[in-house]
A = this chain, B = another copy of it.
Amino acid sequence: MAGSDLYTGSLELLILKALSWGPRHGYAVGRWIRDTTEEVLRIQEGALYPALHRLQRNGMLREEWGVSETGREVKNYQLTAAGCCRLRAETARWHQYRTVMETALGATGG
């Protein structure tokens, strides 16, 4: 592991969350994650783009070409209804996971 590695399975949640305020293009999703985590999580492009394609293939995202603020052609991703649903489910899963991990790490024997 290389220090800032992901816990495998948590990237999907981050991507869905990044898109929860409206469409964003892939690169911006990566930037959002990097920025909101203050550089702690830097998503490799080799993880980011395949994940986006996967989510789209599974009907969680819809893609449409658009133009960025800088005038460049970009592929914008948008949550579908199923994507919203998945975001809620994954968020709940994270919270539950976090809770039991805290319990385990806070345990004093047993």
A96 to B105: give the CA distance in the assembly, Å: 14
Chain multiplicity (copies): 2
Please tell me which stretch of A37-45, A53-61, A74-82 contacts chain B, meaning at least 4 of its Cβ atoms lie within 8 angstroms of it: A37-45
Indicate if A25 sits at the interface (CB-CB under 8 A): no
Total interface residues on A, CB under 8 Å, equals: 33
Q: Please state if A104 and B9 are interface contacts (CB–CB under 8 Å).
A: no
Known: A8-B7, A17-B104, A105-B94. A110 touches B40 (CB 8 A): no
Contact of A105 among B17, B21, B40, B109 (CB under 8 A): B17
Contacts of A96 in B (CB 8 A): 40
Contacts of A41 in B (CB 8 A): 100
Contacts of A51 in B (CB 8 A): none
